[in-house]
Structure 1
Amino acid sequence: MLGKIGRSPKTIVLKLPQAIIQTCFFIRIETVPTGTLYIVATPIGNPKDITFRAVEILKSADHILCEERRVGSTLLKQLDIPQKLLIELNEHNEDSLAQELVMILAQGENMALISDCGTPAFADPGALLIQFAMEAGIQVVPVPGTSSLMTLLSVSPLKVDEFYFVGFLPRKEEQRHRKLTELRKLRVPIVLMDTPYRLERTLQDIQKTFGKNKIITIGMNLTLPKEKILHDSVSTILAMVRGQKAEFILIIH
């Protein structure tokens, strides 16, 4: 047997003989049919935003890779998809797990990669797995869908022909300040996001670096009943959302 799968109540752990990984990993598999790695976008809030194609892929995949098993299991229940093997792939284990997953793909198993919400591997885990899969000759297929980035850009009241995507700001104060100071030199709109509990802090940092009159567009809890899309000076929006926590993405114009 090539490998074995051990299961615990919270996670899935894969183990393969190290000798097999070392000798076989970067050999392109061309003599036998290999599996396919599907990169599946899932809703950013409203479960009705899932595409028909995404549902078909999730139903047919042999394994589903997800950031958190609990979130992945909830999504399958919402879509009435029978529970199947969920393998956690996140920032804590991708470095050690990616090669083993490619070996399973090389045996002909199909996998669907999803993130907690939105498009995988974009400011989320998955890029290393995709790199290794392509290097091993595994077919990687994108299954597009909702994205918080494009959702917010589509309702921006100011024209955005080009922009600079930052993703998540550093957590440490000094690094955040240094990053924002560098971004202030740019002459294009800047798109960034952060965790819900850093909403107020992020706006404060932007105000401190760019000035209180800097215009921003922010989307909070996009596609959900409590969705808010605000366009105003950073100081005005900061006063409006003070004390709140929400999933958010914003544009600094």
Structure 2
Amino acid sequence: MPAAIGTLSIVATPIGNYQDITLRALEVLKAADCIICEELREGSTLLKKLNLPPKPLITLNEHNEKQQIADIAVRLAQGQQLALVSDCGTPVFADPGAALIREISEMGFPVTPIPGPSSLMAAFSILDFKLERYFFAGFLPRDPQTRQAELLRLRAMRVPVVLMDTPYRLDRLLDEVARAFGKGHPLTLACDLTLPTEQIFRGPAAEVRQAVNGRKAEFILILHESSSPGPRTPQRDRPPR
């Protein structure tokens, strides 16, 4: 392996507002020989929105990650600088890339984080209680009975729980949370963070569900500890102007 090997940079990109890109991320993306992304369309759109020149794109998703590792390793061995991005936010945490990083690291190639936007950290930053610990549950299983059983298990943990799901399942998830944790359980729901449609809901599960009422949005749902105080009625923060 030559001395001048390439580096794989894990680059956080905006979760909605493209002005949130960091100066360092711009430099890394501009200098990269190739961008690794989940979808070619999303990768191309990102470069255009950031006014960056077109770059060769490699797709990396849950279906082809293992197959792409060999090609990426060859590029790094040739000295290419590669940047991994997700559709938005910080890569790998809830997206493909872990297997790539593991094998690339074992081969001796450097992997470096380029920190920046994260929907999880953004949601944490607007909590109205001190977060000392939490459990990231992510996406629940799709089977209804399994989902409910998992929610009951999470309730027994007695720590703040973070949940995610697709926009069209937001109402369903809030209904399930109300059944498992109780209609009065306090929670914080952050919708469409950094976008003009951004809205934060705080309050008991059943009342937040009523306030949301069919809205479809990218979201982070944080269920407070059972002992955490919460407002009696849901509050909606005004979106930024």
The two structures have a TM-score, normalised by structure 1, of: 0.86
Moved over 4 A (4+): none
- The whole-number CA distance in structure 2 between the counterparts of 1:101 and 1:178 is 40
Matched, 1:235 2:241: no
Letter of the 1:170 partner, please give it. P
State the match for 2:100 in structure 1.
129
Match of 1:185 among 156, 160, 165: 156
- The whole-number CA distance in structure 2 between the counterparts of 1:175 and 1:88 is 32
- The whole-number CA distance in structure 2 between the counterparts of 1:55 and 1:32 is 26
Matched, 1:221 2:192: yes
State the match for 1:53 in structure 2.
24
- The whole-number CA distance in structure 1 between the counterparts of 2:173 and 2:72 is 36
Which shows bigger deviation, 92-101 or 184-193? Answer: 92-101
Deviation, structure 1 residue 46:
0.4
Match of 2:7 among 11, 36, 41: 36
Q: Once the two structures are superposed, what CA deviation does each residue of 1:19-73 show, in whole Å capped at 9, x if it has no partner? A: xxxxxxxxxx4x5321100000001110000000001100110110111111111
Structure 2: gaps spanning 5 or more residues = 225-241
Deviation, structure 1 residue 96:
2.1
Matched, 1:244 2:215: yes
- The whole-number CA distance in structure 1 between the counterparts of 2:187 and 2:70 is 41
Change (3 A) 1:99 1:178: farther
Which shows bigger deviation, 114-123 or 94-103? Answer: 94-103
Letter of the 1:138 partner, please give it. F
Deviation, structure 1 residue 201:
0.9
The count of residues paired between Structure 1 and Structure 2 equals 224
Deviation, structure 1 residue 140:
0.2
- The whole-number CA distance in structure 2 between the counterparts of 1:186 and 1:91 is 30
State the match for 2:174 in structure 1.
203
- The whole-number CA distance in structure 1 between the counterparts of 2:113 and 2:163 is 23
Deviation, structure 1 residue 175:
2.3
The two structures have a TM-score, normalised by structure 2, of: 0.90
State the match for 2:43 in structure 1.
72
Q: Once the two structures are superposed, what CA deviation does each residue of 1:130-185 show, in whole Å capped at 9, x if it has no partner? A: 10110000000100001111101110012111111111112222221221121111
**Aligned-CA RMSD value:** 1.1
Change (3 A) 1:99 1:171: farther
Q: Are the aligned partners of 1:215 and 1:233 in contact in 2 as well (CA < 8 Å)?
A: yes
Q: Are the aligned partners of 1:102 and 1:129 in contact in 2 as well (CA < 8 Å)?
A: no
- The whole-number CA distance in structure 2 between the counterparts of 1:104 and 1:172 is 41
Structure 1: gaps spanning 5 or more residues = 1-28
